Amino acid sequence: MHRTGMTELEVVLAVARRRSFRGAALELGMSTTAASSAVAGLEARLKVRLFNRSTRSVSLTDAGQRYVERIAPALAEIQSAGEEAGTGPDTPSGTLRINAPQGAALLLLESLFSRYAQRHPQVRIDIVSESRLIDIVAEGFDAGIRLAESVPQDMIAVPLSGDFRMLVVATPEYLKRHGTPRHPRDLLAHQSIGMRMSHGGIYHWEMEHNGQKLQMDLPVRMALNELPAIKQAVLLGLGIGFITEWFITEELKSGALKPVLVPWCPSFGGLRLYYSGHRFVPARLRALIHLVHELRLAQN
């Protein structure tokens, strides 16, 4: 029986992550032809198709999804063991792979990741920002970053920030033209900049005051799925927006954006670094967790 090699498994996981043979090849430093051949050879030996391929997209089959979920943790353990054998169990090395929501990497770049990079020059940092919530173990990430409410229950979570809140904001010029809403129902007379969620729907603004909870389904003038684009659309006066406060700190300070309906914008759990408690924690991730605790202690 032909033995499956590490390279083939690495290619399968990279294609699953990137949803592209070309992207996987670039990540692994090999040709697209070699990546495609590795997957095709493995599929032939397993007698199962792992990926659906078209000229425009690559996606896992059901069998491929099950296969990736089984091999990803095992391959991560093997890679960690290899790194430790070469550098010692307490020396951070290799690639630290983090999955984070859009905007979080920018927020944490100076305060956390730049310090980590200076302290651990042997570690390469790979941060993938996306709105969809994924299985970090199955997709080969060391850890994830998400809001507290979105962290899976079987994960270990480490606080990265204090509580956040979403704010209803617009430019002063927009409010002068269209009026300032005094109650959430007044928003129905405004055009909003909507957030397109990973499942395809538009995020309904969740508001609360004195125990009264409202979910606002507003007229959408423009729908976008990236926070920077949403902020820019609001700054251009195209509509009123509902944006995380930490992402518009400078615009609030300068007066470029004005918050309204603030009493209806409650706080919620902030960002969390999370990782699986059912696997070996590599030195590179332990070092990040240690730095997070160190920085939070320094703030107190």
Dump pLDDT digits (tens) for 103-142.
788 778 888 999 999 999 999 999 998 877 888 887 888 9
Cα gap 211→209, rounded to integer Å: 5
H helices of the chain, in order, are 6-18, 21-28, 32-46, 62-87, 104-108, 114-119, 172-178, 227-235, 249-254, 283-299
Average pLDDT over residues 259-270: 92
Number of domains in the chain: 3
Same structural domain for residues 55 and 44? yes
Dump pLDDT digits (tens) for 54-92.
878 899 999 999 998 888 877 777 766 666 565 555 778
Dump pLDDT digits (tens) for 40-59.
999 999 999 999 998 788 99
Would the pLDDT of 246 be above 50? Answer: yes
Same structural domain for residues 1 and 83? yes
Kindly report the CATH number assigned to the domain that includes residue 46: 1.10.10.10
Domain extent at residue 12: 1-91
Among candidate residues 35, 70, 91, the one where a domain is terminated: 91
- For the chain, how long is the longest CA-to-CA vector? 74
Same structural domain for residues 156 and 273? yes
So what's the pLDDT on residue 1? 37
Same structural domain for residues 113 and 61? no
Coil, strand, or helix at residue 202? strand
pLDDT band at 2 (very low <50, low <70, confident <90, very high): very low
Same structural domain for residues 229 and 293? no
Average pLDDT over residues 149-177: 92
Same structural domain for residues 172 and 262? yes
So what's the pLDDT on residue 85? 61
Backbone angles phi, psi at 158, to 5 degrees: -120, 125
Cα gap 18→254, rounded to integer Å: 39
Report yes or no: 17 and 24 within 8 Å, Cβ to Cβ: yes
Same structural domain for residues 263 and 203? yes
So what's the pLDDT on residue 184? 94
